[in-house]
Structure 1
Amino acid sequence: MTALTRLETGHAVPTTGSLKHCYEQLLLGDDAEQRRALARSVLETQLQRAADLPKEMPEDVSALQSFVEQHCADVARQYADYLSARKQGGPRQFFSNKAHALYFLQAVSPTKLVDGAWLYGLLPRWRDPRFEGLIGTYLEELGEGNPAQNHVVIYRKLLAELGVDGTGAIEDERYLQGAIQLALGESADAFLPEVIGYNLGYEQLPLHLLISAYELAELGIDPYYFTLHVTIDNASTGHAHKAVQSVLQLLPIEGDREDFLRRISLGYRLNDLGQGSRAIIESFDLHAEVLRMLERKRPFGQHMHSDYCRFEGKTVNQWLSAPEQLPGFLAALENKGWIKRHQDPKQSRFWQLIQGDGAAMFGVFSPYEKQLLHDWIAGDWAPEHSSPAFRRGTPGAVEADLPADDPDIQALQSALEGRAAPEQMQTLIPWLSAHRHAHPAGLMATRRFIELKSILR
């Protein structure tokens, strides 16, 4: 049973239990007071954990810009070393095969699908010029209302094109960073220094972003979401630079600067909680992932096969009757020649049942599940020609025009009609939340928010 605590709002919120549940409540919950109470509970818990992590952010704020620039230079040097190794024939360092890359894209999706959420709570400060950099960063995460540039729209489109839709298969720990971002977005008033610090840490260009983009393209996967962040997070004029400027502009002049900076440092360290991208990449085990996938499918298939086909004396239904039998089932398929490991999967009868004209099991496995099976069967085999590098089309591949007949757009237009510009801003802000901004009405609201902001400034 989940333990409950009661905060000053009077709302009972979970203090233990699944991170996925917290994430979903923060993203989708209808009760604003309950979301805020849950956000406070999440942040108080995670900030206690962050306090035990090493301090990386310099204590002298005058050193922040050089700290960020040095980090960027170090990343550039390490990436140059990576490229040199690859040009000399070295292997990919991140993704052993395409299934590995899809596994990564799915595993990090809880964070990517709320990109920028930690800054949402600052939108009511739009009149204060000190928040210009932070709010501008958030609006750029939203693509300024253009779906072709909205980070969440781009990532959703990437997952859809790859057939990666397995939220039930994502480990609970991988919802932590997304939950932290959503909690910060709900708590900007009470946790402003932590928001500023988290933003400073998150907007530093990581090496894994560059390598991921390179290797995704090599595997024929659109790297645009990652290359977009490489350019937008630069330390010269991009989000990393704005993050430093925001720290300097929002430090108290005569208030308790020391405590404010302590809290900024804590917020910075929130980025280091949970599994990072490298840890997720290194956790991939193709054979284990195939078995986990088959276990998810097993309850649906254990009574669906006829009894005429037997492997080592057992029917398929008998093999699928218990999860511990799955490794033996795969071995039996190999022993009978239905799976020919380390060869072209097309040579395996089992693969022919899954893919191709007249495949008896057509539609049983998702594109991601088929990729797992394909790469597991292929093993050490490689085609004569590697996958061509991805060539991205124009950004117009994401529809830029918003549907006028969308019911949410119509409702928003009605809500705005007849209202003065400042009142419209209050109506628009909820539509720029993590749950709404990637929808047509949210994109429209983002455009209108930017338009009014420039008029009312």
Structure 2
Amino acid sequence: MSGVHIEIGRPQQAVKRWSSKSIYFSLLEASHTATIRAESAVFLTQQLSETHSHATTMPATFEQLDTWLAEHNENVGRQYHAYLAARKAGQPRQYFRTKSHALFFLRAVAPTKLVDGSWLYGLMKHWQDPRLASLIKIYLEELGDGVEAMNHVVLYRKLLKLNACEDWKNLDENFFTQGAIQLALAAHTDSHLPEVIGFNLGYEQLPLHLLITAYELKELNIDPYYFTLHTTIDNAQSGHARSAIDAVREAMPLFGDSHDYIRRVIAGVKLNDVGLSTLDIIRQFDLHAEVVRILQSKANIGQFMHSDRCVIAGKTVNEWLADQDQVAVFLAEMENVGWVKRHQNPEDSPFWKVIAGDKAPMFGVFTGYEQQVIYDWIAGEAIESLPMLARLGRPWRMVEKQSIAQEEARHKQYSNVYDFHSGNKLTHQLRLENDFNQDQLSFERHVHSIDNEQKLMQFLVDWMSPAKHYTSLGLCATRYFKSHMDSLF
């Protein structure tokens, strides 16, 4: 596992830049082709080279790690205390000016959040090695130990769905870089184990932005649970931040040269700097530009869908939409003729009435996220004076309660919770076999037909991949795997 020595500082002969987005989705495929593996290896090496000169606060000796952890958490705590004091004194939100700004953020970080923990997946085939126990434990906890309500990717997928932000796959290239790094580490763990351990060490340290994000999302009626979960599970005393430090020490016996090992661990820590940071993404939001982008995204179809009766500044709506470069001008002309009344209640704007509401002529054309962007843009400077329900929607607890009830109703039909050793269900029985549970029944039968431990565990590991672990069968595989690991360590 420690065979490949990475020359981080050596210039790369290859000058080709690999597409982060292409690598991201290719590595999420069930099976990687040799070409994709080769491309992602070059991509990973390039990122290591580019971050080689980056500064880091991580110490160069094992003895200083505990002090480093304590100082980091104390520093974050002090900064968060100062933030809370400023808010109490009347300062505005530091990150999100409007709800649409926060939803933009949720959507923009989706490529990273939807592969949460993936950098550790390559370790799972080494489940028998006690020197990797802390890292394997972290991965299982990222997967919620197979419990759907605690699986981090499941939680984020639900958050996106509740807020109508599921169109993240259309994001630009630079939003996929960090996720591609994490998947590349998973694909090349056998040659980059210290870098994986280092990346995990850096990623699991509690950042200030996580605390502020959770605080401000709650103010905007967006469920903060995914983010508050990470503030608790990553704690420095008993959580992932502590386990990450333990993992650095536990894996040390795998390497003969401790100096080279720690150098590579530090290189892995620096990979956390690759791509857009949380603050970079927050600062990228431009409300007017996002409205223009949204209208441009509808133009290909919209240019054929409107009647010619409505003429604005001498052009029909179809004619305006036929040229995407004219969309910004089209918005300005809608203001000029009164179709949009900026810095007022959007309900006073004819354009808003056309797109919002169940009986609106253009009902369903704009997603919930897109409507929020348009609402906030029209409201402009008047937004804070508008009714909370109108500008923020229903409290997230109400929305979540309805969603949970639907999930519970679904799970009363299908359950796949088993004891690994006895094979007995631990909860209610599945209903009679039908066309909707064939995949689960086939999975269960196959698991119990495998009489070789190594083959069984490999089968389960395949289902615990970043592409599958959040599915019902992936969650079931995780529970089986977790049960067996508990019996070993």
Are 2:339 and 1:307 equivalent residues in the alignment? no
2:349 counterpart residue number = 348
Q: Which runs of 5+ in 2 are unaligned?
A: 1-13, 417-429, 431-435
1:448 counterpart residue number = 480
1:117 counterpart residue number = 118
Q: Are the equivalent residues in 2 in contact too, given 1:115–1:152 (CA < 8 A)?
A: yes
Aligned length, in residue pairs: 445
2:448 counterpart residue number = 417
Deviation string 1:345-382 (CA, Å, 9 cap, x unpaired) is 11111000011253111111111111111000000112
Q: Are the equivalent residues in 2 in contact too, given 1:133–1:246 (CA < 8 A)?
A: yes
1:187 counterpart residue number = 188
- Residue 234 of structure 1 aligns to a residue whose secondary structure is coil
Matches within 5 A, 1:46-125: 46-125=47-126
Q: Using the alignment, how far apart are the partners of 2:33 and 2:440 within structure 1?
A: 22
Deviation string 1:298-338 (CA, Å, 9 cap, x unpaired) is 11101211111111111111111212211221111111111
Evaluate the alpha carbon distance shift between residue 203 and residue 121 of structure 1 in structure 2; reply closer, same or farther with a 3 A threshold: same
Q: Which stretch of structure 1 is more off in the superposition, 385-394 or 364-373?
A: 385-394
TM-score normalised by L of structure 1: 0.93
Q: Using the alignment, how far apart are the partners of 1:436 and 1:259 within structure 2?
A: 35
Are 2:468 and 1:436 equivalent residues in the alignment? yes
Deviation string 1:154-179 (CA, Å, 9 cap, x unpaired) is 00011011111223431211101111
1:283 counterpart residue number = 284
Q: Using the alignment, how far apart are the partners of 2:165 and 2:468 within structure 1?
A: 22
1:383 counterpart residue number = 385
Q: Which stretch of structure 1 is more off in the superposition, 119-128 or 410-419?
A: 410-419
2:10 counterpart residue number = none
Q: Are the equivalent residues in 2 in contact too, given 1:110–1:175 (CA < 8 A)?
A: yes
Evaluate the alpha carbon distance shift between residue 408 and residue 436 of structure 1 in structure 2; reply closer, same or farther with a 3 A threshold: farther
Deviation string 1:37-71 (CA, Å, 9 cap, x unpaired) is 33322211111111121132111211111101111
Q: Using the alignment, how far apart are the partners of 1:225 and 1:18 within structure 2?
A: 29
- How big is the shift at 1:417? 2.4
2:419 counterpart residue number = none
Q: Are the equivalent residues in 2 in contact too, given 1:402–1:440 (CA < 8 A)?
A: no
Q: Which runs of 5+ in 1 are unaligned?
A: 1-12
- How big is the shift at 1:31? 3.3
Q: Using the alignment, how far apart are the partners of 1:296 and 1:324 within structure 2?
A: 12
Q: Using the alignment, how far apart are the partners of 2:138 and 2:36 within structure 1?
A: 24
2:326 counterpart residue number = 325
Q: Are the equivalent residues in 2 in contact too, given 1:79–1:210 (CA < 8 A)?
A: yes
Q: Using the alignment, how far apart are the partners of 1:113 and 1:436 within structure 2?
A: 11
Matches within 5 A, 1:203-218: 203-218=204-219
Q: Using the alignment, how far apart are the partners of 1:19 and 1:31 within structure 2?
A: 15
2:139 counterpart residue number = 138
Q: Using the alignment, how far apart are the partners of 2:488 and 2:292 within structure 1?
A: 58
Q: Using the alignment, how far apart are the partners of 1:254 and 1:205 within structure 2?
A: 28
Matches within 5 A, 1:4-83: 16-28=17-29, 30-31=31-32, 33-83=34-84
- How big is the shift at 1:233? 0.4
Q: Are the equivalent residues in 1 in contact too, given 2:61–2:262 (CA < 8 A)?
A: no
- How big is the shift at 1:253? 7.7
Q: Using the alignment, how far apart are the partners of 2:225 and 2:112 within structure 1?
A: 17
Percent identical among aligned pairs is 47
Q: Using the alignment, how far apart are the partners of 1:254 and 1:378 within structure 2?
A: 60
Q: Which stretch of structure 1 is more off in the superposition, 121-130 or 285-294?
A: 121-130
Amino acid of the residue matched to residue 467 of structure 2?
Answer: H
Q: Using the alignment, how far apart are the partners of 1:34 and 1:426 within structure 2?
A: 23
Q: Which stretch of structure 1 is more off in the superposition, 349-358 or 361-370?
A: 349-358
1:10 counterpart residue number = none
TM-score normalised by L of structure 2: 0.87
Q: Are the equivalent residues in 2 in contact too, given 1:148–1:396 (CA < 8 A)?
A: no
- Residue 381 of structure 2 aligns to a residue whose secondary structure is coil
- Residue 115 of structure 1 aligns to a residue whose secondary structure is coil
Q: Using the alignment, how far apart are the partners of 1:231 and 1:77 within structure 2?
A: 17
Q: Which stretch of structure 1 is more off in the superposition, 62-71 or 250-259?
A: 250-259
Q: Are the equivalent residues in 1 in contact too, given 2:30–2:467 (CA < 8 A)?
A: no
- How big is the shift at 1:17? 4.2
Amino acid of the residue matched to residue 369 of structure 2?
Answer: Y
Q: Are the equivalent residues in 2 in contact too, given 1:194–1:267 (CA < 8 A)?
A: yes
Amino acid of the residue matched to residue 433 of structure 1?
Answer: S
Evaluate the alpha carbon distance shift between residue 45 and residue 370 of structure 1 in structure 2; reply closer, same or farther with a 3 A threshold: same
Deviation string 1:242-266 (CA, Å, 9 cap, x unpaired) is 0001111111387111111111010
2:177 counterpart residue number = 176
Q: CA RMSD in A?
A: 2.1
Q: Using the alignment, how far apart are the partners of 1:111 and 1:198 within structure 2?
A: 14
- Residue 40 of structure 1 aligns to a residue whose secondary structure is helix
Q: Using the alignment, how far apart are the partners of 2:172 and 2:69 within structure 1?
A: 32
Q: Using the alignment, how far apart are the partners of 1:81 and 1:339 within structure 2?
A: 40
Q: Using the alignment, how far apart are the partners of 2:267 and 2:66 within structure 1?
A: 19
- Residue 275 of structure 1 aligns to a residue whose secondary structure is coil
Q: Are the equivalent residues in 2 in contact too, given 1:141–1:151 (CA < 8 A)?
A: yes
Q: Are the equivalent residues in 2 in contact too, given 1:58–1:64 (CA < 8 A)?
A: yes
Amino acid of the residue matched to residue 233 of structure 1?
Answer: D
Q: Which stretch of structure 1 is more off in the superposition, 363-372 or 125-134?
A: 125-134
- Residue 30 of structure 1 aligns to a residue whose secondary structure is coil
- How big is the shift at 1:294? 1.0
- How big is the shift at 1:385? 4.8
- How big is the shift at 1:422? 3.8
Evaluate the alpha carbon distance shift between residue 15 and residue 119 of structure 1 in structure 2; reply closer, same or farther with a 3 A threshold: farther
2:6 counterpart residue number = none
2:424 counterpart residue number = none
